Amino acid sequence: MEDLIQKGSHAAPATYYILIQKDGPYLVYGKPPVNQEILTPDATGYSWTYKQGNTIENTEEPIALCRCGQSKHKPCCDGTHTYIEWDSEETAGKEPLLSGAKQFEGPEFILNDNKKYCAVARFCDGYGDIWHLIRKPATDVEKEIIKHQGTHCPSGRLVLVDAKTGEIYEPNLDPSIGILEDPVMKVSGPIWVKGGIRIQSADGSSYEIRNRVALCRCGHSSNKPFCDSTHIKVGFTDEKKKTV
């Protein structure tokens, strides 16, 4: 069966892909760069940019990234998943993200929003939030803010469209992996899969290919393999393990 590709996204070269292991880690193929990326706020206090942190050396292929949240060598897998109890079940559907999205229409932009995929990275919340900003005619400055907010969400929950031309705003992202850190919330965040890397379920089928995807690495999402922001509730960090 042909892979689904989200409108506005492009598939990465086929050498890049992620295999989800049944009851095990994410196996990352193609040696994409893997870097810590730190959510960084602007003066409003809401996320605005990503600051690059440590690089995770990936000389081996595949690199195994922890999915249970309990490896002692996070973000890499150390085999802990084999002797602990954790819920590894993939519960997310394979349908396109946009088919479950709500549409918010304004004079200049249409905002597609599928809340199930929210990683609470808070790029959308500044300046009165993107949902309010798109409702009325926007100044040039506001248009730039709206485009920035709509395209920096790591999970791709928000898909921004030009209301007049139908153009989808997607950032140009090379195939790469970000290990998100969220110092404002004092937690570690999901795995940010960028640039259309295909993700294959443990059942052998693939999820829709998207430019921006946030994969759960705390082990607690109820929409696995995708992050649903539960890492904040459980206080997930790379440093030490906390429980719900």
Closest to ligand FES by CB, 194 vs 231, is 231
CA distance 21 to 24: 5
212 binds ligand FES (CB under 6 A): no
Does position 81 interact with ligand FES (CB under 6 A)? The reply is no
Distance, in Å, from the CA atom of 47 to the CA atom of 124, rounded to the nearest integer, reads 8
Closest separation in Å from C-beta 53 to ligand FES:
16
CA–CA distance, 61 with 77 (Å, rounded to integer): 13
Q: Can you tell me the distance from the alpha carbon of 190 to that of 174, in angstroms, rounded to the nearest whole number?
A: 18
Bond prior to 75 in cis (omega within 30° of 0): yes
Question: Which listed range, 79-87, 128-136, 202-210, 222-230, lies at the site for ligand FES (CB under 6 A)?
Answer: 222-230
Q: Binding to ligand FES (CB under 6 A): which residues in 176-195? A: 190
Contact between 231 and ligand FES by CB under 6 A: the answer reads yes
237 belongs to the binding site for ligand FES (CB under 6 A): no
Q: With CB under 6 A as the contact rule, which of the stretches 86-94, 109-117, 193-201, 214-222 interacts with ligand FES?
A: 214-222
Residues 111-150 that bind ligand FES (CB under 6 A): 119
Q: Which helix (H) or strand (E) holds 73?
A: none
Report how far residue 149's alpha carbon sits from residue 156's, in angstroms, rounded to the nearest whole number. 11
Q: For ligand FES, which is the closer residue by CB, 170 or 181?
A: 181
Alpha carbon of residue 133 to chain centroid? 23
Residue 171 sits at φ, ψ, to 5 deg, of -70, 155
What is the nearest approach in angstroms of ligand FES to the Cβ of residue 151? 20
Interface residues with ligand FES (CB under 6 A) are 119, 190, 216-218, 220-221, 227-231
